[in-house]
Chains A and B, each alone.
Chain A
Amino acid sequence: MSAAALTVDGVWKYYGDFPALRNISFQVGEGECLALLGRNGAGKTTLLRILAGLSRPAKGRILISGADARAPETRRKIGVLGHGIAVYEELSAFENLHLFANLYGIRDPARAAMEWLERTGLERVRDGLVREFSRGMRQRLAVARAFIHNPALLLLDEPFTALDDRAIAVLQGLLRSARAEGRTIVMSTHQLREALELATRCVLINRGKVGYDGERTPEMLEDPSWLYRNYGEG
């Protein structure tokens, strides 16, 4: 494995008395694409929220390129695309991207915002308010927001869920480019075939515990449910 872009070391998380994550440990090398798999309620979103610095683990630690996940310098390297689109309804597409470019300390935020509006096909509606956008346009804007600072580590929670065809094409293109540029991707998903085609490694989580951690094998591509049959619970 190449140098660790992400280290998850003995992470526990409780909701009340219930352990949502139990001693999760794995590493992701630079340039790898990890598919984070598991049934509903397995703990994928909880883990991704901890990786994104949105939640603290009860025990254990997260290191991103060897540094603490909550340090501002570390967060500059992370791009997060979660369940919500995380863009403001009452701002325009340009204002949304300009806002996040400023927060990430990008030198020329206006130029970065325009570049990503063009890459996601939204340049013609740059001044339109998001509340007037169609669902697909909002999703493409969310993708632009997550990628605008060229993150070295992408954390994607169910990225293809509820996307329209055009947004899926935009995202797939960006993910292929990201892989070619050596960026690290961690992606949780239920869409096994799409995830396994892109992934170099898989981690399967069963009820908060790691059930499988290893390379993506040819068997998985031939039969996407192979992993669940051999390593899943129930």
Chain B
Amino acid sequence: MGLFLRQTLTIAAKDLRSEIRTKEALNASVSFSIVILLLFSFAFEPSSEQTHEIAGGLLWIVFAFAGALILNRSFARELVNDCLDALVSSPTPGPALFTGKAIANLVLLLIVELISFPVFGIFYNVRWLSQFPLLFVVMFLGTWGIVVIGTMFSAMTVNLRLRELMLPVLVYPMMIPLLMGAIQCTTALLNGQGLGGEAAPWLRLLIGFDLIFSILAVALSDTVLVG
């Protein structure tokens, strides 16, 4: 278990260090999120009830699309110099490699989300700071779901010529239940309701989705990585 954790954290640290040095995915993802939030703010009246109704949906669609930019790079960066071969031929088990990459992707996407939230609050006149602890729980659960599915499909599509196109096409349909749960929970929180009552089943859906797909992804990681 000690070596597994060491290998997992080594992979996560390597991916984060690489991304911090190149900022390839992070810059694109942050810019994309801010531009989309800005453009949509022109379409809706910031003080209207409608804005509060669609707030959760808008945020999670932005996060899902911004996530694709990060997830596409996750395994693609291993193609340069055949680095993926060195990782797969090392004694690093598939689950450690997968989990390390998922952790790095989670951190990067959470950074994008934490930058997007204040921008969203300003452009849409939504007060979210008072609900931040619960919002962060929902953000974490929703983001982990995006990252788990996205990292697995990033590995599966890494050798495809049209991987930038194929990843979203494959991943978004699978994310629908996750996004519905995250949208409903976020909308409830932004409207001043808690996560009890109507939001509770959606929160359970989020947790269940994360658990099932985490187990599946870890179980299938060796099969996916070795052709």
Report which A residues bind B (CB closer than 8 A): 49, 52-56, 70, 72-73, 75-76, 78, 80, 82-91, 95, 99-100, 102-105, 129, 145
* CB–CB B89/A75 < 8 A: yes
Closest to B17 in A: A91
* CB–CB A53/B83 < 8 A: no
* CB–CB A99/B91 < 8 A: no
* CB–CB B88/A54 < 8 A: yes
Report which B residues bind A (CB closer than 8 A): 3, 6-7, 10-11, 14, 17-18, 21-22, 80-83, 85-93, 222, 226-227
Chain B residues in 8 Å Cβ range of A129: 21
Chain B residues in 8 Å Cβ range of A91: 14, 17-18
Sampled A-B contacts (6; CB under 8 Å) = A70-B222, A72-B92, A80-B85, A83-B82, A91-B18, A103-B10
Closest to B18 in A: A90
The verdict on A103 contacting B91 (CB below 8 Å), with A80-B85, A88-B14 known, is yes
Chain A residues in 8 Å Cβ range of B6: 102, 105
* CB–CB A72/B81 < 8 A: no
Please report the C-alpha to C-alpha distance between residue A148 and residue B22 in the assembled complex, in whole angstroms: 27
Chain A residues in 8 Å Cβ range of B10: 99, 102-103
Chain B residues in 8 Å Cβ range of A99: 10, 14
* CB–CB A87/B22 < 8 A: no
Closest to A51 in B: B89
What are the nearest 7 A-B pairs in CB distance?
Answer: A84-B82, A86-B86, A72-B91, A102-B10, A75-B91, A76-B91, A52-B89
Which of B3, B7, B89, B91 has a CB less than 8 Å from the CB of A54?
A: B89
* CB–CB A88/B18 < 8 A: yes
Chain A residues in 8 Å Cβ range of B82: 82-86
* CB–CB B3/A105 < 8 A: yes
Nearest chain B CB to A100's CB is how many angstroms away? 7
* CB–CB B227/A56 < 8 A: yes
* CB–CB A84/B89 < 8 A: no
* CB–CB B21/A86 < 8 A: no
Please report the C-alpha to C-alpha distance between residue A73 and residue B222 in the assembled complex, in whole angstroms: 15
Given A54-B88, A105-B3, 14 additional A-B pairs, CB 8 A: A53-B226, A54-B89, A56-B227, A80-B85, A80-B89, A84-B81, A84-B83, A88-B80, A88-B83, A91-B18, A99-B10, A100-B90, A102-B6, A145-B86
Which of A49, A54, A90 has a CB less than 8 Å from the CB of B21?
A: A90
Please report the C-alpha to C-alpha distance between residue A160 and residue B222 in the assembled complex, in whole angstroms: 31
* CB–CB A87/B18 < 8 A: no
Closest to B223 in A: A56
The verdict on A55 contacting B226 (CB below 8 Å), with A87-B83, A90-B18, A95-B17 known, is yes
Please report the C-alpha to C-alpha distance between residue A185 and residue B128 in the assembled complex, in whole angstroms: 62
* CB–CB B81/A53 < 8 A: no
* CB–CB B87/A54 < 8 A: no
* CB–CB B89/A55 < 8 A: no
Chain A residues in 8 Å Cβ range of B89: 52-54, 75, 78, 80
